[in-house]
Chain A
């Protein structure tokens, strides 16, 4: 067990949490960051480190990994205490308004403010039914190394941003890319969709996986039989890899039991990013308010707002912005 004493504890080391740490550092606050994953980057590192992201301000194209590396370098300049690979479990608010957080590794953090940046929580991919023998071999739910798809005939399953982005990412790497979606309409941004339809990716809508054909012992795939949800017509696709991007189950874990008011799995916040408990702020995908967008660039903005309000909350003599400092 070790004990830490900081100004603010950030729960969640995804992009929002890392950037909140950066800004807290600019405001000369001491910071601890707790995350259940053993690496920083949250969803980005875990789910799409190699995916090229286009919607981060100032980055026409950046991979998830590069973005996280930039955020880690920024945050590290202020030397936050990283408590990675640990789940923040215990949450106590003391009478003087300070907090004690404990982790499942018995680390104890005393602090005066908390920023919750847990995103969607811990997530696991939705699995393709009846395909267990191929999981981790021919069938994957996310790709950490793009090269694993080189020269394969790839089938991407799904109709969300993730499926569309993966298909576009692999078009120049795989030998062929086919995308199937069980509906006609996509849940994806218009821009990438337009690129998808202009690309060499073969897109089959109203189509789902019927059966994977291959060596169940080795987990290798020879073909996938798909079926039209319209006509019932079957078709055999000669693919050797399947990437099922069917979304994720998310679980907030112990944070959901903390004495904060949740709306479903989200924390309502005001425009200072305060929750209903004084000194506890929330940012990023976990928050909700009218018009809320779950985007990395929105989370970055929220991180800056929260960190600056934390600075003023902890020392009412400083201003929210830009901070008066005695020489």
Chain B
């Protein structure tokens, strides 16, 4: 059991949490960064390390893994205390406004303020029904390495940004790409959908998976039109089911903060309903909230700078008041 004492504890080592660790260091705050995953990067590392990301400001294009590497490098000069593979279990507020966080390894972190950057919480992919037999035999829920699909005939199932982005990223690597979606409306950026429709990807709407064929690996997938029930066999050997994720906030649900569904309510300072506990990124909720990586970065900077004032009320929100 470690007894760690820091100014700010950041829960969640995704992009938002990593940037918060950088910003806290920049403000002269010591940090602990807790994440239940064993590597930093959150959703990005776990789900799409090789995907090109186009919507990080200043980067016309950056791979997920590269973005995470750069964020870790950015925070590194300030030596955050990483507690990876730890889940933050309990939050105990003290009378002096500080907190003790206990992790799943029974480590205790005494901290003057808390910043929750837990993203979508613990997440597991939504499974393709009746297909578990093919998991690891051609069926995947996310693509960790694009090269694993080289020269394959790939079927992508789904209509969200992930499905559309995978289809576009695999062009030129896979031999053929077919994308099926059970509706004709995509839950994806308009620009990406336009690129998809202009690409060589075969797009079949109102189409769902009927059965996967093959004894060991995948030899083909029978799909059907959900309006006409017309069936068709697609000669593919890989299936990417990008059907979204089930997520769970885990122990955070028991903390003394107001949670709306799966999200934490915050004010414009990014403070939760509990003084001294801040939140940023996908996990937060307020009127007009947009769940995108750049918004998480901005919220992280706002949260850390306001937390700095909570920690030291004589500090200024901006730009920080120090004595030479």
The interface of chain A, by Cβ under 8 A from chain B, is: 15, 19, 22-23, 25-28, 54-60, 62, 67, 70-71, 73-74, 77-78, 159-161, 181, 184-191, 193-194, 197, 203, 205, 270-273, 289-295, 297-305, 308-309, 318, 320-327
* Given A185-B324, A301-B297, also A161-B319 (CB < 8 A): yes
Q: How far is the CA of A181 from the CA of B267 in the complex (A)?
A: 37
A324 & B322 in contact (Cβ 8 Å cutoff): no
Q: Which of B194, B291, B323 contacts A28 (CB 8 A)?
A: B194
Name B293-310 residues within 8 Å CB distance of A.
294-302, 305-306
Q: Which of A59, A161, A289, A324 contacts B187 (CB 8 A)?
A: A324
* Given A27-B191, A271-B287, A322-B161, also A189-B27 (CB < 8 A): yes
Q: How far is the CA of A74 from the CA of B191 in the complex (A)?
A: 13
- Distance of A172 from chain B, by nearest CB (Å): 17
* Given A28-B190, A291-B306, also A60-B70 (CB < 8 A): yes
Q: How far is the CA of A59 from the CA of B185 in the complex (A)?
A: 36
Name B127-155 residues within 8 Å CB distance of A.
none
The interface of chain B, by Cβ under 8 A from chain A, is: 15, 19, 22-23, 25-28, 54-60, 62, 67, 70-71, 73-74, 78, 160-161, 181, 184-194, 197, 203, 205, 267-271, 286-292, 294-302, 305-306, 317-324
- Chain A contact residues, majority secondary structure: mixed
B185 & A290 in contact (Cβ 8 Å cutoff): no
Q: Which of A19, A321, A324 contacts B291 (CB 8 A)?
A: A321
B189 & A181 in contact (Cβ 8 Å cutoff): no
* 19 additional contacts (CB under 8 A) given A58-B15, A62-B58, A327-B186: A26-B54, A26-B190, A28-B190, A59-B70, A60-B74, A74-B58, A74-B59, A193-B324, A272-B288, A290-B267, A291-B270, A297-B19, A298-B302, A300-B294, A304-B292, A322-B187, A322-B189, A325-B194, A327-B193
Q: Which of B60, B297, B322 contacts A73 (CB 8 A)?
A: B60
Q: How far is the CA of A301 from the CA of B292 in the complex (A)?
A: 9
B70 & A271 in contact (Cβ 8 Å cutoff): no
A residues within 8 A CB of B295? 301, 304-305
A residues within 8 A CB of B28? 190-191, 194
B321 & A187 in contact (Cβ 8 Å cutoff): yes
A327 & B197 in contact (Cβ 8 Å cutoff): yes
* Given A27-B191, A184-B324, also A326-B184 (CB < 8 A): yes
* Given A55-B26, A71-B58, also A325-B288 (CB < 8 A): no
B78 & A191 in contact (Cβ 8 Å cutoff): yes
* Given A54-B74, A293-B301, also A326-B185 (CB < 8 A): yes
Chain A's closest residue to B179 (CB) is A327
Chain A's closest residue to B27 (CB) is A190
